[in-house]
């Protein structure tokens, strides 16, 4: 196994803002508080220590949620440590995607665990706890109901609505059966199936099942998996939700920042509303809006006066759910958190939040770009060597890749660009002669030139097609390796699920990532078997 990072700015799949933040473009410096380096964390700890963190409440909730989970010694130590003012967290978050969804779900967690380890080494006497927040309150089911593995797309079908995390785990049985048929019959596959079955048929809700599953994968590293959909956590968040309902400041603050970023060439990432809270019902999660003197829940008959809404908030905070604009405030108000670890899209919407954090009196965390990884399996590596194709070549569009590969290996020059240039110059000369004889002939001359140019283009396509037939076997292999490493002309980490990699390598897969990923090092990590 080899590990070779590629420069971040050489990867065409990352957005301009992602590159700008990761490579520390000074234009973005007004939109974050601390640089993502070890030296900054001394000041971050000092600033975060000035906040009132509900440590006892946090530990009670974690203990409650971990009552039915397997706990390592590291897990127990981290839970107890949260009571100490010398303990801080580093956090990531994601929706509970089916079977963890794309590979980057795993890379986010590994980056978070490794950041906590680096901080522990850099600041002895302090403790740093990695936290994965499972965003189960989201109701966008289409974002979480699928996983791609073994060349198949598994889809969880259900008629239920509302918060994904609150859905019944029993509804997963049909898609679990599909996955079972794909796992094979190896000893490792049987062990993994037993874990999946326990996770998703041994719990009432999908959120609980995902918490069990992720904890089982990373308990030995002391990762705490936290479900924020908890009445006591939301009770602590009531002052923030009250201000959001009555003052409605978030939208203006976020939109002001978005306008500034758009002036720099970076489009808005998240849509802020006048009220950035949802109302949770048994099978629905609907927006709260204000119409005149009343608060209403869209798509329902629920209507509250201001006084009634404040009473409802105090009595039933669990019925209120932060959206993407308020969720960062929610998690940072509950945790002694120093850093948020996320992908390019997440960093983009956090960069829109600094003024909002200042308004609500919360410290803005360090934003750490998670590691991006390409895992080149041994079969793909052999094909690349045989085809004499480099990784940089595979990053272009598939048809452009094939065209350039064929051109490079053809015995004859396939391009007719030189001939087209000669033809163009010839008809330009003829048109100038025609202009001196009869200007009305110029249009006909240029039209004939364009016609002849198109004929040469068609001839070039036919020449290329003939050469493609000669390399038919090799091109099939080239397409296969391109799709394997960059599926759909995108990043592998945004498509593939981790299960095939785990079944092949076992715990070594996680161990290798934990050994080699460093979220404070920029670069695209290429792992080659």
pLDDT tens digits, 30-71? 999 999 999 999 999 999 999 999 999 999 999 999 998 999
Grade residue 148 by pLDDT with cuts at 50, 70 and 90: very high
CA distances from 278 to 34, 172, 331 (A): 31, 26, 16
Tell me the C-alpha distance between 493 and 110, whole Å: 13
Neighbours of 236 (CB within 10 A): 19
Q: Structure tokens of 339?
A: 């850093």
In contact, 335 and 58? CB cutoff 8 Å: yes
The per-residue pLDDT for 465 is 66
Q: Structure tokens of 337?
A: 């958190």
Tell me the C-alpha distance between 236 and 241, whole Å: 10
pLDDT in tens, 149-167: 999 999 999 877 788 888 8
Looking at 81-90, 222-231, 373-382, 458-467, which range is the least confident one? 458-467
pLDDT in tens, 463-493: 556 566 667 788 889 999 999 999 999 999 9
* Helix, strand, coil abundance in the chain, percent, nearest 5: 55, 15, 30
Read off the pTM.
0.89
CA dihedral angle for residue 345, residue 351, residue 353, residue 354, rounded to 10 degrees: 160
Place of tokens 């590994």: 110
The per-residue pLDDT for 418 is 62
């Amino acid at each position: 196994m080899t590990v070779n990072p590629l420069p971040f700015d050489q990867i065409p799949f990352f957005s301009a803002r992602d590159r700008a933040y990761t490579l520390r473009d000074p234009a973005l410096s007004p939109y974050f508080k601390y640089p993502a380096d070890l030296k900054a964390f001394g000041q971050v700890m000092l600033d975060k220590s000035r906040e009132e963190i509900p440590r006892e409440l946090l530990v009670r909730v974690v203990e409650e949620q971990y009552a039915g989970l397997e706990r390592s010694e590291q897990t127990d130590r981290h839970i107890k440590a949260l009571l100490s003012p010398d303990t801080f967290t580093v956090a990531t978050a994601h929706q509970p995607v089916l079977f963890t969804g794309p590979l980057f779900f795993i890379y986010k967690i590994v980056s978070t665990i490794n950041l906590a380890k680096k901080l522990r080494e850099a600041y002895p006497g302090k403790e740093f706890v990695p936290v994965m927040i499972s965003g189960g309150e989201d109701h966008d089911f289409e974002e979480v109901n699928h996983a791609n593995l073994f060349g198949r797309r598994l889809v969880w079908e259900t008629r239920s609505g509302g918060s994904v995390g609150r859905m019944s785990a029993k509804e997963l049985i049909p898609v679990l059966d599909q996955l079972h048929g794909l796992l094979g019959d190896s000893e490792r596959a049987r062990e993994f199936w037993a874990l999946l079955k326990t996770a998703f048929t041994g719990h009432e809700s999908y959120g609980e099942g995902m918490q069990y599953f992720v904890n089982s994968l990373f308990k030995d590293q002391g990762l705490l998996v936290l479900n924020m959909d908890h009445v006591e956590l939301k009770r602590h968040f009531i002052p923030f939700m009250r201000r959001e309902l009555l003052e409605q400041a978030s939208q203006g603050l976020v939109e002001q920042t978005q306008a500034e970023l758009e002036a720099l060439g970076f489009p808005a990432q998240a849509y802020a509303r006048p009220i950035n809270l949802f109302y949770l019902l048994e099978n629905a999660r609907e927006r709260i809006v204000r119409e005149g003197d009343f608060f209403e829940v869209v798509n329902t008959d629920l209507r509250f006066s201001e006084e009634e809404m404040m009473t409802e908030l105090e009595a039933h905070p669990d019925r209120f759910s932060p959206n993407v604009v308020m969720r960062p405030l929610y998690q940072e108000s509950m945790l002694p958190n120093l850093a948020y670890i996320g992908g390019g899209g997440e960093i983009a919407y956090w960069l829109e939040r600094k003024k909002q954090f200042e308004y609500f009196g919360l410290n803005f965390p360090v934003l750490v770009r998670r590691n991006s990884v390409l895992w080149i399996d041994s079969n793909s590596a052999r094909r690349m060597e045989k085809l004499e194709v480099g990784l940089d070549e595979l990053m272009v569009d598939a048809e452009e890749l094939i065209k350039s590969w064929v051109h490079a290996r053809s015995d004859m020059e396939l391009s007719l660009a030189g001939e087209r240039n000669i033809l163009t110059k010839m008809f330009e000369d003829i048109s100038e002669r025609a202009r001196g004889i009869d200007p009305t002939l110029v249009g006909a001359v240029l039209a004939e030139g364009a016609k002849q140019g198109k004929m040469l283009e068609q001839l070039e396509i036919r020449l290329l097609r003939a050469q493609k037939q000669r390399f038919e076997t090799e091109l099939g292999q080239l397409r296969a390796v391109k799709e394997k490493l960059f599926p759909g002309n995108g990043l592998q980490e945004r498509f593939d699920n981790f299960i095939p990699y785990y079944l092949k390598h076992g715990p070594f897969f996680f161990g290798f990532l934990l050994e080699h990923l460093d979220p404070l090092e920029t670069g695209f990590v290429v792992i080659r078997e």
